[in-house]
Amino acid sequence: MTQRQLVGRTATVIGMVVLAWIVFWFVAHVTEILILLLISAILAAGLAPLVANLERWRLPRGVRLARGAAILLLYLALFVVISGVLSMIIVPAVNETAAFVEKLPELTASIQRWLTQLHRQFPWLPSLATILQHLPQQLTNVSAYGTTAAGVAARFIRGFAEVVTILVFTFYMLLQGAQMKRSFLALFPLEERARVSQVLEHIGAKFGGWLRAQLLLSFTVAAIVALGLLLLGMPFPALLGVVAGLGELIPMVGPSLGAAVAILVGLSQPLWRLIAVMAFYVVIMNVEPHVLVPRIMASVVGMSPLLTLVALLAGIKLLGILGGLLAVPIAAALQVIVSEVVSEIQGPGIQPATEEPAAPRAEAPAPRPAGRR
C-alpha cells in the first residue's frame, strides 16, 4: 500500500466517523420531532381508508368531496365523538366528586375507626389512623404543592401543543401522501422502486392494523370492566368502563388510572364490594398485558405474542410510556423490512412459503391418428 492510498483511506475513515457523529448529534436533537412524525404517520395510515371512503361518497347531484374536505370532515367527526365521550366522563365525574366531598368527613371517620381497631388487634402494624388524622391538614396546605402544580400545568400545555402538531402533520400526510411517496421513491434506482413501494405499503398496512388493534383492545377492556362492575353492583359501571377503555391508550399508566378512579368510587360502597373491585382490577391488570395485548396484536397486526411482549418491554425500558405506545408498530415495521431483506438474500429462486403454488400447465391434446376425422 502506497503512502497516498494510506492517507486516502485514513481520510475516508475519519470522514465516515465525523459523518456518523453529525448524524447522531442531529437525531439526538430532533428526537422529539421524529417521534411526532412517527405518531403522525401511524395515524395517517390508520385514517387513510376512512378518507378514501369519504372521497368516494357522492353528495347530491353526484358531487364528490375533495381530499382536503374529506380530511376536515373526518377530523370534525372525530372531534364530535371525542367530545361526546369526554362529556360522558366529565359530567358524572363532577357530580360524583361533589357527592364524595360531602361524604368525605363521614368516610374518613369510619376508616379511622376501622384502622384504630385494626391497630389494636395487630400492634405490630404501623399506626395508619394517625396518618389519616393529619391528612386533611396536609391537603389544605396548598402552597406546598404550588411548584408541582405549575409543573403539571406546563406539561399539560406542552402536551396539548404536541397533540395539535400531530394533527397538523397527519393532515398534510393524508393530503399529500401520494406526492411524498413519489418523492421518496425517486431516491432509489428505477428497478428497485417497485420493491420499495411494496415495502412501504406493507408498513402502512401494519401501522393501520396496529391502530385498529389498539381501538379493539380499548373496546374489549371497556366492555369487560363495565360488565364486571355491573355484576359487582358498582355505581356508574358504563362510565368506569369507558375510563378503563381510554386508559388502555396509555401503556403502563392507563390501567392504573382506571383502577384508581374505580377504587375512588368504591370508597363510598361497602367494604366487601371495595375489596372485590380491587381484586377485579388486579386480575384485569394482569390479564390485559399478558393475554389480551399479545392475542389481539397477533390476530390484527400479524406479530407473534412473544415478539409483542418483547417489543413492549423494550419500548417501555427505552422511552417509558411513549416507548410502550410506539413499540409494537415499530417492531411490525422492522419485521416487514427484515422479511424483505431475508427474501432478497435468499434470491428469486426461492419462493415464499405463503405464495400459492403455480397452476399446472395444461397438457397438449394427443394427435389424432392419420386418416381419421
Task: Give residue-wise pLDDT tens across range 160-216.
Answer: 788 888 889 889 988 888 888 888 888 888 888 888 888 888 888 888 888 888 888
pLDDT of residue 142: 45
Q: End-to-end alpha-carbon separation of the chain, Å?
A: 82
Cell numbers at 137, concatenated? 391538614
Last residue of a domain, one of 144, 175, 206: 175
Residue 292 within a domain: yes
Q: For residue 79, give its domain range.
A: 31-133+154-175
94-113: per-residue pLDDT in tens?
A: 666 666 667 667 766 776 77
Cell numbers at 264, concatenated? 375512588
What's the average model confidence in pLDDT over 223-242? 86
**Which pLDDT band holds residue 76 (cuts at 50, 70, 90)?**
very high
pLDDT of residue 258: 83
- Among candidate residues 65, 21, 28, 73, the one with its CA nearest the CA of residue 47: 73
User: What CA–CA distance (Å, rounded) separates 192 from 320?
Assistant: 37
What's the average model confidence in pLDDT over 21-36? 80
Query: Does 199 lie in the same domain as 336?
Result: yes
Answer whether residue 152 shows pLDDT above 70.
Answer: no
What's the average model confidence in pLDDT over 32-42? 84
DSSP state of 368: P
What is the CB-side half-sphere exposure of residue 96 using CA atoms within 13 A? 21
Query: Does 278 lie in the same domain as 224?
Result: yes
Answer whether residue 46 shows pLDDT above 70.
Answer: yes
Number of domains comprising the chain: 2
Answer whether residue 373 shows pLDDT above 50.
Answer: no
Query: Does 250 lie in the same domain as 166?
Result: no
Query: Does 271 lie in the same domain as 160?
Result: no
Strand partners of residue 58: 64
User: What CA–CA distance (Å, rounded) separates 106 from 125?
Assistant: 24
User: What CA–CA distance (Å, rounded) separates 283 from 267?
Assistant: 19
Residue 286 within a domain: yes
pLDDT of residue 280: 92
What Rg value do the Cα atoms of the chain yield, rounded? 29
Residue 211 within a domain: yes
Query: Does 332 lie in the same domain as 193?
Result: yes
- Among candidate residues 357, 336, 8, the one with its CA nearest the CA of residue 203: 336
Query: Does 126 lie in the same domain as 214?
Result: no
- How high is the mean pLDDT of the chain? 77
pLDDT of residue 371: 46
Residue type, 157: I
Query: Does 56 lie in the same domain as 169?
Result: yes
Helix (H) or strand (E) holding 74: helix 67-121
92 phi and psi angles, rounded to 5 deg = -65, -30
The number of beta carbons lying within 10 Å of the beta carbon of residue 91 is: 11
Query: Does 208 lie in the same domain as 59?
Result: no
Residue 12 within a domain: no
DSSP H helical ranges for the chain? 3-29, 31-56, 67-121, 128-133, 135-140, 146-175, 177-185, 193-232, 237-247, 254-266, 271-287, 293-300, 305-346
Contacts 24+ apart (CB under 8 A), 292-295: 292/217, 292/220, 292/221, 293/217
Query: Does 230 lie in the same domain as 275?
Result: yes
What CA–CA distances, in Å, run from 320 to 101, 221, 329? 34, 22, 16
Q: What percent of the chain has pLDDT over 90?
A: 2
pLDDT of residue 99: 67
Residue 339 within a domain: yes
Residue 340 within a domain: yes
Residue 235 within a domain: yes
Query: Does 323 lie in the same domain as 195?
Result: yes
Claim: this prediction has a pTM higher than 0.85: no
Answer whether residue 351 shows pLDDT above 70.
Answer: no
Query: Does 234 lie in the same domain as 128?
Result: no
Residue 3 within a domain: no
Distance of alpha carbon 269 from its chain centroid, rounded? Answer: 34
Query: Does 218 lie in the same domain as 112?
Result: no
